[in-house]
Amino acid sequence: MVCLGNICRSPLAQGIMEKYAPNEWTIDSAGTSGWHASERPDTRSILIAKQRGITIDHQHSRQVTAEDFEFFDIIFAMDSSNHSNLIQLAPEESVKNKVRLILNESYPGENRQVPDPYTGGQEGFSHVYELLEEAIQSFLRAH
């Protein structure tokens, strides 16, 4: 699960996927930037997750690495900026097809974006939560 800062959207996506996915899957999140490296998720993400029964406050932000492209089978980008940055970070051509826009799981082919909630209020985080839960449940129904 990848966003820009790895403090707002992708920590929520990680927490939701951990709640619903099979136990044997390895799920993680990272940022295309290292701006918030080692920080905990944004308090507004922690709050909305907690309200839905999900704990994310143990997570730490980190930047995407070249190894992520080898280790993970699927890399979900929250928006098209994350998507294009991931394509640029990909260490080789053959792993670029691992990168997907997460809302194409719930709205196939529409290339919708999970909006960046960082500069807004708590309601933006609720909206992000609903979008991510819908996308992850669509993905899991298909797998």
Q: Which residues are annotated as catalytic? A: 3, 9, 116
Which residues lie below 8 Å from residue 64, measured CB to CB, with a gap of 6+?
A: 2, 30, 31, 32, 86, 89
Total H helices, total E strands in the chain? 5, 4
- Which of 118, 119, 5 lies closest to 60 in space, CA to CA? 5
Tell me the C-alpha to C-alpha distance, in Å, between residue 106 and each of 16, 131, 140: 15, 8, 11
Shortest spacing between CB 23 and ligand 4NP, in angstroms: 26
C-alpha span between 138 and 143 (Å, rounded): 9
Give yes or no for residue 7 binding ligand 4NP (CB under 6 A): yes
Shortest spacing between CB 34 and ligand 4NP, in angstroms: 11
With respect to ligand 4NP, which residue has the nearer C-beta, 86 or 94? 86
Give yes or no for residue 2 binding ligand 4NP (CB under 6 A): no
Give yes or no for residue 8 binding ligand 4NP (CB under 6 A): yes
Among 1, 6, 44, 83, binds ligand 4NP (CB under 6 A): 6
| Residue tagged 């309200």 (tokens) | 51
Q: For the window 34-53, what string marks contact with ligand 4NP as x by the rule CB under 6 A?
A: -x------------------
Residues 84-143 that bind ligand 4NP (CB under 6 A): 116, 118
> Can you give the binding site for ligand 4NP, defined by CB under 6 A?
3-9, 35, 116, 118
